[in-house]
Each structure stands twice: as structure tokens, then as C-alpha cells.
Homo-oligomer: A and B are copies of this chain.
Amino acid sequence: EAMSAFQYLLVYNSISFTFAAMAAATIFLWFGRSEVAPPYRTALVISGLVTAIAAYHYFRIFQSWEAAFLFENGIVSNTGYAFNDAYRYVDWLLTVPLLLIELVLVMRLSREETVSKATRLGVAAALMVILGYPGEIADSNGTRALWGFLSTIPFAYIVYELFSGLSRAIETQPPQVRSLLKQARLLTFASWGFYPIVYMAPFAGLDGPTANTTIQIGYTIADLVAKVGLGILIYIIAIRKSEIEM
């Protein structure tokens, strides 16, 4: 069945919106760098890198969407060029390790612990993304389920490491920022947990253009929360901690 004009435009405009939001967040975070105390600058640089990389990929996703569908006289048809699902996975391959490094830095562990945690989490993140991709492009729900399951193993490990690590780190923080840090943790888990749920859309009986639209919109919302939402929270935390320490 063909994609409806509504579905086509909803994805089209959501992707354009997200490109603009990612680019704007990048500039905001990088300008914010000079407003905070030196120990928090790296966090803002990295948050801005995450949104910058995402802005690049949303630009490409936009172009790929335009190339894949023809919207003429109110009717959507396929051009024969495939929409490139891989941009999101390539984006995650870069941004998930960066987000993890940021969270590890926030924990302020010893140097050895930082390096070993960052390495283990980075490898797990790469595995998670690489194992998820064959399922994303699979035609059969069985194949999708299999790769999704494999990808969930490193995902569970990441969630466990982060949760226990972050909980301990939050205890050692000044009381004024503890609730903000808890919000950042909540936002991270809620948005990360959203990705595998979106991935499962085809299992809910959705198919064809409806499944595709749901997945595109779902990942887009998750990206906005996980990247822009977290970036703004990290900016606020950095400003507060700078005030306390200065």
C-alpha cells in the first residue's frame, strides 16, 4: 500500500524540525561553554558534538526521504531509490559512546576506573548498535526479533552499569544539584528505553508505510529527548555547579 500525504509530510516536517533543533542546541551548548567553570566545559563541548553529529545526520535523512518518495499532485509514490535507514545507526555509533563518556565523566571516578568503564561501555554500545541494524532492515519479524534480542544483551549491560554507577555518583554531589542529576538520569533511562520500544513497532501488527512512519517519528522524538533534552539539563547542571564553586 502507498504512503499517505499526511504520513509523508509528518515525517518530512518532523525531520526538518529536528535538524533545526539539533543545530540550534549545538550553538547554544557551545556558546554556553564560556559561561561555566573550567571543569564543566568538556561536558558542554561533548553535548554539543552529539547534537552537531545528529544535525548532520538529520540533514542527510531529510535528503534521503526526499529522494525516496515523490509527492506530486497530493499523491506519494516511491521513486525507486531506497530510503537509507543506516543514517540513524551510523549516528548512534558515534553519539551513544559520546553520551556514555559524558555520563562517565560526570561520575568523577578515579582515572583507571574512568578509562576501564569508558572502554567497556563503548564496546557494549558499538555491539548494541551493530547487532540492532540487521534487524532494522529485515523484512521478516522473526529476523527482526532475533537481532533485537542480541542487541538487548549489551543494552542491558549498559543500563546496569550506568544505573549503579550514576546512583553512587549522585550521592557524592552537592545537595543543590542532586535532584537535577536525578532528572538527568531519569531522562536518560526513559529516552534510551524508548528506542527498543519503537524498534518493536512491526511486532504490534503495524506494517508498510504505517510501520515506517511510526518508527521514524518514534526515533525522532527519542533523539530529541536523549540529545537536546539531556544537553539542556547538562547545561543547567553545569551553570549551577559553577555558581556553587565560584
Contact = CB atoms under 8 A, between A and B. Distances in A.
A21 B56 contact: no
Contacts of A41: 31, 35
Interface in A29-82: 30-33, 35, 38, 41-42, 45-46, 48-49, 52-53, 56-57, 60, 71-74, 80-82
A2 B60 CA distance: 26
Interface residues of A, number: 43
B9 A24 contact: no
A192 interface: no
Copies in the complex: 2
Given A71-B81, A82-B71, A24 B52 contact: yes
Contacts of A81: 71-72
A58 to B, nearest CB: 12
Interface stretch (A85-93, A155-163, A208-216): A85-93
B13 A53 contact: no
B35 A42 contact: yes
Contact of A90 (B20, B52, B73): B20
Given A16-B87, A56-B20, A90-B13, A31 B31 contact: no
Interface of A: 9, 12-13, 16-17, 19-21, 23-24, 27-28, 30-33, 35, 38, 41-42, 45-46, 48-49, 52-53, 56-57, 60, 71-74, 80-82, 84, 86-87, 90-91, 93-94
